[in-house]
Amino acid sequence: MSYRVVQHGAGREVRSTQAPPNPVSHGKSGLARAWDRYLNLPQPIAVIIAIAAFLFIINVFSGLDSIWFHWAVAPHRHPAARR
């Protein structure tokens, strides 16, 4: 069901017979939709995410007793840039 706003009360209720599109009905899983979104990211952001994921996987396989991957991907400013 949908409605519209018309000035001066000259409108009437409009009923839609079509169902709204369902993004899940396209047959793609959540992982496939996430991969599509990743591929559409700007390249610098996609590269940072890929590096972070790679370092996270290395950290997991080397043991989680010491978590270190976040230090390599944490944003920081160059000391000369501070003013």
DSSP output for 20-65? PP-GGGGS--HHHHHHHHHHTS-HHHHHHHHHHHHHHHHHHHT-TT
pLDDT score recorded for residue 18: 61
Tokens of 69: 């991957």
| Confidence at residue 39, expressed as pLDDT on a 0 to 100 scale | 93
Output the pLDDT for position 77: 74
pTM over 0.75: no
pLDDT tens column, 23-79: 544 667 888 999 999 999 999 899 989 998 998 999 899 988 888 888 877 877 767
d(CA 33, CA 38): 9
- Eight-state DSSP code of residue 82: -
Which residues contact residue 4 at a Cβ distance below 8 angstroms, ignoring those fewer than 6 apart? Answer: 11, 14
- pLDDT (tens digit per residue) in 3-29: 767 676 555 555 555 655 555 446 678
